[in-house]
Amino acid sequence: MMQWNDHSRLTGQHAFLGASKYHWLNYDQQRLIDAYLSNQAKERGTRLHAFAAECIELKQKLPKSKKTLNAYVNDAIGFRMTPEVVLYYSSNCFGTADAITFDDGILRIHDLKTGSVPAHMEQLYIYDALFCLEYGIDPAVIRFENRIYQNDDIWNENPSAEDINPIIAKIKEFDKIIYEVKLGAMV
């Protein structure tokens, strides 16, 4: 009987040049380097999000600065926000808000972007809709403040019920369709 080498320390991990990510077989040298650097940036972003969440939970402010991470952490602490909150409508539609608070009729959602790809506010609108759906709140009776922190800048938007209600409707409609497809009722 074959005695297999012990690689238990690697359980649950995936190698960059692994079999399940076979596309690298078709890469040239530059594409390989670009893909590797992109993967490293993604891993760095994951670690920065975890660090920011820990700072917010511990109420540990960072030195006052316009730097993305510092501004994001300090603002979240200042607004008494909770980091990494899952907003759930169904198993087909949920997401994790980087930092969120609902106080005095104002829903604040802040998003930390660590990459260079331009962010899209639609992501935060979906969080707004998920919040309203999960907690049974009419978007017309609250105010919204969404912020994206990226590239040492803060992008701020205040959507209205007219922006959020169509997203709520689409979530309900699409969730029902996916549910029916799962049951085999639609194909």
Domains annotated on the chain, with CATH: 57-182 (3.40.1350)
The answer to whether the CB of 163 falls within 8 A of the CB of 121 is no
Comparing CA positions, the residue from 82, 103, 85, 83 lying closest to residue 94 is: 85
Report the C-alpha dihedral over residues 176, 161, 53, 103, rounded to 10 degrees: -120
Residue 142 is inside which H or E element, if any?
none
Tell me the whole-structure pTM to 2 decimals. 0.86
**Residue 71 per-residue DSSP state:** H
Digit-by-digit pLDDT tens for the chain (187 residues) are 999 899 999 898 888 888 888 899 999 999 999 999 998 999 999 999 999 999 999 999 999 999 999 999 999 999 999 999 999 999 999 999 999 999 999 999 999 999 878 889 999 999 999 999 999 999 999 999 999 999 999 999 999 999 999 999 999 999 999 999 998 866 5
The tokens for 9 are 């320390």
